[in-house]
């Protein structure tokens, strides 16, 4: 086994092994890098989710967006990159990581933290070199595989029409974030891009969202956040800003437990359209901006 080859901790190894054995029995979507992904199974009952917190935001002033998994369905690409490179270095004795392991231990995490979690016994600089290599592979795969979440561009036009303030806030490296915004055609749409590693603390701490509010001059009392991960939702909640969770890949219960005020499938979800209509700025307010 290569020296750069830690095993998965015992508390997740069993779950990973079970998941690996069962993968062959489930439907998967094949990608161009010979890596597979399936949508996370999520409950369909939304009755427990309330939007009352969002109703109090009227008139809406600003919307903050996470990028990975929120603007675009990028987790399958990240999963492929991690799966391929971790197997190459002999992680978990060379057994490929499962989707469940990725969702529970990697998705939404900051690279500095992930380096310590995945390689606790390795020199941190070497662990970060692995993370840099993984991000380079992601950027290589993204141009052919990145897909916007349904309804994104319609929502962006609605935001522009209502002259709402906005910012993109992410734990992704700046090079990744700028590439994704460019591929989505949203570089000019976001006047502010906040990178977690460029703040004192990244998500799940509130610092990135607090910085975004300050930079765009928005009040948390009239702002909400779009997020897809528990880490990001906790960051928004800690910043005292309501969060709308997208069930792009993560189970609903995980997002609810993190504190999401509302869960939606995508940006065309009727629940989102209804709340936007309820809290949108008045015509007079828009004309004054």
Residues annotated catalytic, as ranges: 66, 68
Phi-psi region of 50 (alpha: psi -120 to 50; beta: other; left: phi over 0): beta
Q: What is the DSSP string of 176-225?
A: HHHHHHHHTT-TTT-S-EEEGGGSSS-TTSSHHHHHHHHHHT--GGGEEE
Distance CA 62, CA 217 (A): 9
DSSP state of 248: S
Distance CA 8, CA 1 (A): 14
Q: Is 172 helix (H, G, I), strand (E, B) or coil?
A: coil
Distance CA 117, CA 102 (A): 12
Run of H or E including 64:
strand 62-65
Distance CA 191, CA 166 (A): 7
Distance CA 17, CA 253 (A): 23
**Closest by alpha carbon to 235, among 199, 264, 271?**
199
Distance CA 235, CA 249 (A): 19
**Closest by alpha carbon to 35, among 88, 103, 96, 108?**
96
Strands 223-227 and 36-37: unpaired
The pair of structure tokens assigned to 229 is: 């991960």
């Amino acid at each position: 086994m290569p020296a750069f080859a830690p095993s998965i901790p015992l508390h997740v190894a069993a779950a990973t092994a079970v998941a690996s054995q069962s993968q062959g029995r489930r439907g998967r979507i094949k990608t161009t890098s010979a890596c597979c992904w399936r949508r996370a199974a999520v409950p369909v009952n939304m009755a427990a989710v309330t939007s009352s917190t969002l109703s109090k935001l009227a008139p809406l002033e600003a919307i903050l967006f996470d990028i990975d998994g929120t603007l675009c369905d990028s987790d399958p690409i990240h999963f492929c990159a991690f799966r391929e490179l971790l197997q190459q270095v002999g992680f978990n004795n060379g057994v490929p990581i499962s989707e469940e392991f990725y969702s529970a231990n990697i998705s939404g995490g900051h690279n500095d933290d992930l380096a310590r979690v995945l390689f606790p016994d390795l020199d941190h600089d070497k662990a970060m070199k692995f993370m840099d290599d993984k991000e380079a592979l992601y950027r290589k795969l993204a141009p052919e595989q990145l897909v916007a979440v349904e309804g994104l561009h319609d929502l962006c036009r609605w935001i522009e029409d209502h002259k709402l303030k906005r910012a993109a806030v992410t734990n992704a490296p700046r090079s990744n974030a700028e590439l994704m915004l460019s591929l989505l055609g949203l570089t000019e749409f976001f006047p502010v891009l906040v990178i977690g590693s460029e703040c004192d603390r990244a998500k799940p701490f509130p610092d990135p969202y607090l910085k975004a509010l300050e930079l765009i001059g928005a009040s948390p009392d009239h702002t909400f956040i779009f997020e897809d991960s528990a880490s990001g939702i906790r960051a928004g909640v800690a910043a005292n800003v309501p969060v709308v969770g997208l069930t792009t890949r993560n189970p609903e219960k995980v997002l609810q437990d993190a504190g999401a005020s509302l869960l939606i499938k995508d940006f065309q979800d009727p629940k989102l359209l209804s709340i936007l209509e309820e809290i949108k700025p008045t015509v007079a307010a828009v004309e004054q901006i």
